[in-house]
Amino acid sequence: MGTNQLYKGSLSTIILKLLGEKGRMYGYQITQEVKAISSGEYVITEGALYPMLHKLEAQGLLTVEIEMTGNRMRKYYSITNNGKKEVVDRMTEMESFIRNMQSLLNPKIDLA
Amino acid sequence: MGTNQLYKGSLSTIILKLLGEKGRMYGYQITQEVKAISSGEYVITEGALYPMLHKLEAQGLLTVEIEMTGNRMRKYYSITNNGKKEVVDRMTEMESFIRNMQSLLNPKIDLA
DNA sequence: AAAAATACATAAATAACTTATGTATTTGAT
DNA sequence: ATCAAATACATAAGTTATTTATGTATTTTT
């Protein structure tokens, strides 16, 4: 996520939305997907990712299944019904945020 | 800023951009302006605002002039030349952030 | 054979905020 | 006239999302 402070607060929304769209994903896969979609601009650190996945699971928004690929562990996360409801709210919030930023940063009308 | 975590990290950008557009403003005025433009959705708390203004001043991005309106103090902030340069970078970051969020949250193409 | 990538994890430190508290003046409502 | 709300500044303590650092182990690439 580099030096760009703006991504702060968006991680859980991204994870939930991605799992809502793609179905099952494992942690490392999420980081790669987000990096690819954002052209390398959004690099999720492991220290942020894993605690967040555990938190969302604890909140009942995700469930996890452990699978072994050879000797390597993968923890596949899926979104729950509560998670799907949460995604709807998060999308509304994100749209509202983006709209507000556009008003604040591209002021066409002077409201003062 | 309510419970919406997304606004985290955007405060300094908002302040710098607003001062770049409007010229001089004082702290309280900034909170009212932002609240008005965002239809009450972005409420800047005083505990966030004043430390941030002091920080931006310490970084040489803002300058301050104290004025008295009757017996009441106002601290008018203006953007410096360095501040104007910073705004350009912040706008690029914000555009990039919004573009990335739109790709991540409205995935038209599957890049996996 | 060694380095890089894959795949998980946690702990300490940092930074941006919220909440709480403080002071004081001015405006608006009853 | 009085009291509440709004105006206007400030700082300190607590919270939380993150970064940075560290750890373990397997698999792939050079």
**Shortest Cα distance, chain B CAs vs residue A71, angstroms:** 24
A78-88: b (≥16 Cβ within 10 Å) or e: ebbeebeebbe
Whether the CB of A100 is less than 7 Å away from nucleic strand D comes out as no
User: How far apart are the C-alpha atoms of B6 and A95, rounded to whole Å?
Assistant: 11
Contact at CB, B14 and A103, closer than 8 angstroms: no
Which pLDDT band holds residue B3 (cuts at 50, 70, 90)?
confident
Q: Is the pLDDT of residue B96 over 60?
A: yes
User: How far apart are the C-alpha atoms of A42 and A1, rounded to whole Å?
Assistant: 5
Q: Which of the 25-84 residues on chain A come under 7 Å of nucleic strand C at their beta carbon? A: 26-29, 32, 46-47, 50-51, 53-54, 69, 72-75
Q: How far is the CA of B88 from the C1' of C6 (A)?
A: 38
Q: Which of A13, A14, A104 sits opposite B37 (nearest CB)?
A: A104
Average pLDDT value for residue range B75-95: 96
SS3 B25: strand
Q: How far is the CA of A54 from the C1' of C3 (A)?
A: 31
In tens, the pLDDT along A46-91 reads 999 999 999 999 999 999 999 998 899 999 999 999 999 999 999 9
Contact at CB, B13 and A41, closer than 8 angstroms: no
Say how many Å lie between the first and final Cα of chain A, rounded.
35
Whether the CB of B108 is less than 7 Å away from nucleic strand C comes out as no
One DSSP character per residue, chain A reads -TT-GGGTT-HHHHHHHHHHHH--EEHHHHHHHHHHHTTTS----HHHHHHHHHHHHHTTSEEEEEEEETTEEEEEEEE-HHHHHHHHHHHHHHHHHHHHHHHHHS--S---
Query: What mean pLDDT, rounded, does chain A reach?
Result: 93
CA nearest B105: which of A40, A8, A42, A17? A17
In tens, the pLDDT along A81-101 reads 999 999 999 999 999 999 999
Domains of chain B: 6-96 (1.10.10.10)
| Confidence at residue A108, expressed as pLDDT on a 0 to 100 scale | 58
Whether the CB of B70 is less than 7 Å away from nucleic strand D comes out as no
| Confidence at residue B1, expressed as pLDDT on a 0 to 100 scale | 83
**Which residues in chain B are closer than 8 Å to A33, comparing Cβ atoms?**
111-112
